[in-house]
Chains A and B, each alone.
Chain A
Amino acid sequence: MAVSSTGNGWLRQGIAVLLALAWMLTSVRAHEGPEHEIEELSELMAARGEAPHLLIDRAIEYAVLGRNAEAMRDLERALQLDPDSLDALRELARLQFVEGRNADAVATASRALRSSPENPVDRAGLLILRAEIQAAAGRLREALSDCQSALRLHAENPEWYLIRSELQRRLKKHRERLRGIEEGWKRTGAGLLKIERIDAQLDARRYREALEAIEEEMASSRIPGPWLIRRGRARLGLGDKDGGVEDLRAGTTAIDAMLDRDRPDVSLLLDQAVALVLLGEGGEARQVLALAEEKGRDPAMTARIREWVTRTRHEDSSSAATGRASERLAP
């Protein structure tokens, strides 16, 4: 880059020496985390006046500290100054979603979409955000529609295929779900989509295909519990009641053996709850789920399993699992 004038040797030497002197003589505050950033940004705005990018920066720091109300207030102020700020709209929608203000969050995400981001990936990201909010509000068809639109704009994100898959599962669109996962797997190669395909096969009662894939995965698995539970589901589905129950029990035992219940990996607890539901042990499943909720500190992530457990509440808790039960309880 050309500039009007360039430095020369004596100047640079002078700067170096002065730098060292100033360094020794000058005291400044150390970097002290988000509180410090908030303080600095507040001082800056008190002096220079508010600016959208400074308000957004401060909102991000507030959100890091869990001070969502203050974060949202800053974002709303940023939007007064720049009504089309995509960053502010995106962050505000996300925070409203986190706070459970789903209607506001949908409205904010829709407003962001109306501002027509030039980049298709930005637009797709907003559609996915709106899809997640719609799904949380139980508006599954609208959520699925947003998700499909997003994937048409940007087909490279494996996470978005998983979101679509979950929506299709809840809407019982098993065939479309399998097709969509296959498409995502080919497009992104993501290992999670391979696992999701197995779960979708189980949900679609394509037990034989699922069993084949599960056994292939088990051959290289180091943590067998979750795979044993999946295989148990497949065997029950194929009418192999004894084999299925044996796998489900072996799966829960394997998880028990590696789990520290005082400090559990919550995802393993969720796997175990699934097995207990399939074994007809609703009471125990509820206990495991309660522990998962206590340790996981996020009831939203146990919602799917809780739904299954609730459905077993009226089941005869003493009945052993059957193939029929497996089909009935299949999520």
Chain B
Amino acid sequence: MADMPTGQHYSRTVRGLFAVVGWIWVSLAHGANPPAPFARSPYVQFGGTQSIHVVWRTVGPIRPVVRFGRSLDRLDRQARNADVVVRAALGTNDQVLPDRWAALRTRSNLALPRLHSAPLGTFQYEVRLRDLEPGHKYYYAVFDGEHRLTPVDESYHFVTHPPVGSKVPVRFWVLGDSGTGREPQSAVYQAMLQTLEKEHHPLDFWIHVGDMAYGVGRDMEFQSRFFESYEGTLRNRVCWPTMGNHEGRTSNGRTGIGPYYDAYMVPMRGESGGVASGTEAYYSFDYANIHFICLDSHDLDRRPTEPMARWLKADLDKARADWLVAFWHHPPYTKGSHDSDKEKDLIEMRQHIMPIIEQGGVDLVLTGHSHSYERSMLMDGAYATNTVAENVILDDGDGDPNGDGPYRKSAGIHPREGTVQVVTGNAGQTLGRNGSLPVMRKIIIEFGSVLIDVNGDTLVARMINREGVERDLFSVVKRGKVTPVRLALPWQPEAYVKPTNTVSIPAAPALDHQVLIPEGARWSYVFDPLPRGSDWTRLDHDTSGWMTGEAGFGYGTGEYRTRLDAMRGKHGILYARRTFEITQADRVTELGLWIDYDDAFIAYVNGREVARVGIGRSSGRNAQKITARSGSTSGRQYVTLKDAHLYLNDGVNQLAIEVHNASLDSSDLRFDPILILED
């Protein structure tokens, strides 16, 4: 059964809105850009019992030095030069570069490994700190030669993995589909941080199950929607990633190339435990008494005779930990925003990979992709399409120690004693639901993420929603000998009836943004006569004869800086233009309009259409199917200028907008835009 009816969900969402407004304001006023001189603040990667990596970026080269030690005021060790890897973005031979960047194309710099789609002039430093003690805390600082770049701040620290096999308490955070840069992403993160603080129990590390950089995993999307969003945690806790389909648009698991692979460092040679994969696309690592396995469900062959599945089998063959946890992006079981009974990638993960996972004795599978929280009962062998619950459920209780009790398995690793599936693609992207999968025990369509504690033979997982409320709790205990029994007629969730007119969260500006064209800016505009063709949308168009005025424009009800009463009853279309400047177009993540309009508009950047609202076909005088804007949606809306970054130039750019009334008889027309850039 779904845990929260839609109406209740809505009212909770509305109440929550008021609570976060203050927080939004604080966030808007205090952006999270990396402090100078970093283009990407230092973060830790690829941890182990005796080593870890510190990674950061600068604009232009530095002399990279990392000092570290057991106390903040005594950083008495220094990483060796041989343990530093440098990558750079220096453009291509046929690219016309500004002098500043052209000067960096020296022979030695061009020999460096290349960063993909990073802004020109970016240098990435990856420094391995070695010969560390297991389970110890170290502080670190980054220098340019002798000049210290990071402040004297205890947040610049890390803790090495405890000895392999040790039964120390372990806490890790799991989230997926977060990388929007919008408010829900931050709310989920803050809720997790507040939970840690309230419980005085920090994380040991975290796992991201993919889609951390919408829309296509470009370098700048990683920067603003992942690195800046989680900077405080990235600085001292390793994030173990798996690639989502959105990162997969620009990164390739077969070649290991792209912004995703630039951003992360993971073990390829079994350095952190497990069988060497030889690739960053899939890998494994040990943490205390847990063995973690990461797969690439996006763009590799999933069949059991192919390399990834063969490696999985080999890795499971050698695994000796008390607990086995696997994670990847595409869920084998879901009816959230995706449907595992319909989609090929999901079906293949279920039919080809899950048999190996369950034969290998994996306890927990963590995935995302579906923008929902769904958690299964203890289950085994559900490979059919469509998924059914009969004879695949081993325990149909809720797994809650205070409810039906924890799921029980034998101590050690045994095949086919049951796996719990957790789909947690609810950390930022718009939520969705298609139905109820019969193997699921909890289906919660709320923003949130998962905190997992493992202590000896007990695992406890909790879904914490964006308000910090614990919305699901289940536990698995591995003790003694348990003989699994398949249930012929297990508990099943209630069938889901999709509501009509679902209320959901609309697009909103990124929290961290700059204003390119402010409210009240002066625009050129014309409505009589309208220029012919579409040249008026280009930068070089001659606008002599156009009028100028301050936004907003309009007539009818409301107040306008520039009134257009002459249009009433005579002219249904307004053309408006305004330039804006950008000094480095390859740093742009997203452009958007924060716009009040009536009734409809089309926006162009440098002559290319980037947004269309309320106009069905064609443009200008030929525009068709114009929809009147409903009174219930009045006020400013955020409209993403899709693909605008593709058309931007360094220097001056042109924004052009045509505004349409649904009919000449309309009593009003309104146009009041602000152009925003995600920072």
B residues 622-639 with Cβ under 8 Å of A? 632-633, 635-638
Question: How many of chain B's residues have a CB under 8 angstroms from any CB in A?
Answer: 110
Write the B643-656 contact mask toward A (1 if CB under 8 angstroms, else 0).
Answer: 10000000000000
Known contacts A9-B29, A44-B642, A188-B278; is A64 also within 8 Å of B344 by CB? yes
A293 to chain B, nearest CB (A): 12
Inter-subunit contact A33/B338 (CB<8 Å): yes
Write the B78-109 contact mask toward A (1 if CB under 8 angstroms, else 0).
Answer: 00000000000000100000000000000000
Inter-subunit contact A15/B509 (CB<8 Å): yes
Which one of B20, B380, B515, B616 has the highest number of Cβ atoms from chain A below 10 Å of its Cβ? B515
Complex contacts, B338 vs chain A, CB 8 Å: 33-34
A128 to chain B, nearest CB (A): 8
| A21 to B313 alpha-carbon distance, docked (Å) | 52
Inter-subunit contact B429/A31 (CB<8 Å): yes
| A13 to B28 alpha-carbon distance, docked (Å) | 8
Known contacts A5-B516, A24-B14; is A221 also within 8 Å of B635 by CB? no
B residues 346-389 with Cβ under 8 Å of A? 351-352, 355-356, 358-360, 370-371, 380-381, 383
Segment at the interface with B among A104-112, A190-198, A241-249: A190-198
Complex contacts, A162 vs chain B, CB 8 Å: 307
Question: How many of chain A's residues have a CB under 8 angstroms from any CB in B?
Answer: 84
| A6 to B355 alpha-carbon distance, docked (Å) | 55
| A18 to B595 alpha-carbon distance, docked (Å) | 11
B590 to chain A, nearest CB (A): 13
B251 to chain A, nearest CB (A): 12
Inter-subunit contact A222/B316 (CB<8 Å): yes
A residues 233-256 with Cβ under 8 Å of B? none
Complex contacts, A53 vs chain B, CB 8 Å: 643
Complex contacts, B609 vs chain A, CB 8 Å: 48
Please name the residue on chain B nearest to A268 by beta carbon.
Answer: B359
Known contacts A16-B21, A265-B304; is A26 also within 8 Å of B580 by CB? no
Write the B132-155 contact mask toward A (1 if CB under 8 angstroms, else 0).
Answer: 000000000000000000000000
B301 to chain A, nearest CB (A): 9
Inter-subunit contact B254/A267 (CB<8 Å): no
Inter-subunit contact B584/A263 (CB<8 Å): no
Known contacts A12-B25, A12-B29; is A191 also within 8 Å of B587 by CB? no
A129 to chain B, nearest CB (A): 9
Please name the residue on chain B nearest to A266 by beta carbon.
Answer: B304
Please name the residue on chain A nearest to B594 by beta carbon.
Answer: A15
Complex contacts, B463 vs chain A, CB 8 Å: none
Inter-subunit contact A3/B17 (CB<8 Å): no
Complex contacts, A159 vs chain B, CB 8 Å: 254, 279, 307
Find B502's partner among A29, A46, A295, A301 (CB 8 Å cutoff).
Answer: A29
Is residue B431 contacting chain A, with contact meaning CB distance below 8 A? Answer: yes
Inter-subunit contact B615/A47 (CB<8 Å): yes
Is residue B53 contacting chain A, with contact meaning CB distance below 8 A? Answer: no
Which one of A12, A47, A296 has the highest number of Cβ atoms from chain B below 10 Å of its Cβ? A47
Write the B570-585 contact mask toward A (1 if CB under 8 angstroms, else 0).
Answer: 0000000001111110
B586 to chain A, nearest CB (A): 10
Is residue B318 contacting chain A, with contact meaning CB distance below 8 A? Answer: yes
Is residue A79 contacting chain B, with contact meaning CB distance below 8 A? Answer: no
Complex contacts, A216 vs chain B, CB 8 Å: none
Which one of A46, A258, A295 has the highest number of Cβ atoms from chain B below 10 Å of its Cβ? A258
A residues 22-60 with Cβ under 8 Å of B? 22-34, 44, 46-48, 53
User: Nearest 4 CB-CB pairs, A to B?
Assistant: A190-B278, A263-B381, A158-B278, A188-B278
Q: List 9 A-B contacts (CB under 8 A).
A: A25-B632, A28-B505, A63-B344, A64-B343, A118-B92, A124-B255, A263-B392, A296-B352, A300-B303
